[in-house]
Amino acid sequence: EAQVTQNPRYLITVTGKKLTVTCSQNMNHEYMSWYRQDPGLGLRQIYYSMNVEVTDKGDVPEGYKVSRKEKRNFPLILESPSPNQTSLYFCASSGRAPTQYFGPGTRLTVL
Amino acid sequence: LAKTTQPISMDSYEGQEVNITCSHNNIATNDYITWYQQFPSQGPRFIIQGYKTKVTNEVASLFIPADRKSSTLSLPRVSLSDTAVYYCLVAEGSYQLTFGKGTKLSVIP
């Protein structure tokens, strides 16, 4: 089954403790992206990647890092999480933008 | 990137046809119009995409006038399960997509 998977689905952590949210797709898509969704603000793009080793900033990249060492994986790294990064995170992939396939989401709470 | 404007919310009774209009006055020649559907706590799901005139699939229809400055998503005979947020996007295929706040559709029994 074609899908985008994210792990973990739920995470509660404390300020400053580094964390990684994994994202994997099995559709051989070149393009992958991370979004965050907050009440009243809609979906905002954090980072995107057009191919292996090619990444670029979206609208809200501050406080996040990404890497794209393999085509199928696009992890989101929070080196020092802060409470304002509490949000619902979505990973997406596409073989032909702007038709994107989204993962199930990761709900992150930073205390 | 072309900016889009949609109604914040809409209500409809079950079984009715729902039309959600999106305004995109500064759409560029190479831009496509795409609609997504999102249920609470789930990722958005692609519904339909078009460039001009009319596009129809098993879920919805998309009407685009000749000037392409607006588009209308039409959902035939909605049911309670169509209650969701609907996003209109305009993009050439750029990787920096802007989703906006969407239209919250509430279907009433």
Find, among A94, A3, A102, the residue nearest to B93 by Cα.
A94
3-state helix, strand, coil in chain A (%, to 5): 5, 55, 40
As to burial, measured by CB atoms within 10 angstroms (0-12 exposed, 13-18 middle, 19+ buried), residue A1 is exposed
Q: How far is A80 from chain B (nearest CA, A)?
A: 25
Q: Is A24:A32 a contact under the CB 8 Å cutoff?
A: no
Place of tokens 């619902």: A88
d(CA A58, CA A67): 14
* A90-99, B5-14, B97-106: segment of lowest average pLDDT: A90-99
Residues of chain A with pLDDT under 70: 96-98
d(CA B88, CA B34): 6
Which chain B residues are Cβ-neighbours of A107 within 8 angstroms?
41
Q: Quick check: helix, strand or coil at residue B81?
A: helix
Q: Which pLDDT belongs to residue A2?
A: 82
DSSP letter (8 states) at residue A18 = -
Place of tokens 């995170």: A89
d(CA A95, CA A93): 7
Q: Is B7 left (phi over 0), alpha (psi -120 to 50) or beta?
A: beta
Please give the C-alpha separations between residue B49 and each of A41, A43, B56, B59, B86, in angstroms, as whole numbers: 24, 19, 9, 12, 13
Q: Which pLDDT belongs to residue A98?
A: 63
Cβ-nearest to B100 among A35, A42, A104: A42
Q: How far is A61 from chain B (nearest CA, A)?
A: 12
CB contact B102 to A (< 8 Å): yes
* A32-46, A80-94, B14-28, B95-109: segment of lowest average pLDDT: B95-109
Instruction: Note the residue count of chain B.
Output: 109
d(CA B95, CA A48): 7
Q: Is A12:A29 a contact under the CB 8 Å cutoff?
A: no
pLDDT at B86 over 60: yes
- Average pLDDT of the residues of chain B: 92
Question: Does the distance separating the beta carbons of B32 and A40 come in below 8 Å?
Answer: no
DSSP letter (8 states) at residue A84 = G
More confident residue, B35 or A95: B35
Q: Which pLDDT belongs to residue B96?
A: 67
Q: Which pLDDT belongs to residue B12?
A: 97
Q: Which pLDDT belongs to residue A80?
A: 97
Q: How confident is the model at residue B94 (pLDDT cuts 50, 70, 90)?
A: low
Which chain A residues are Cβ-neighbours of B42 within 8 angstroms?
102, 104-105
Which chain A residues are Cβ-neighbours of B102 within 8 angstroms?
42
Share of residues in chain B with pLDDT > 90 (%): 79
Q: Is A102:A90 a contact under the CB 8 Å cutoff?
A: yes
Q: How far is A8 from chain B (nearest CA, A)?
A: 14
pLDDT at B73 over 90: yes
Structure tokens at B2: 């072309």
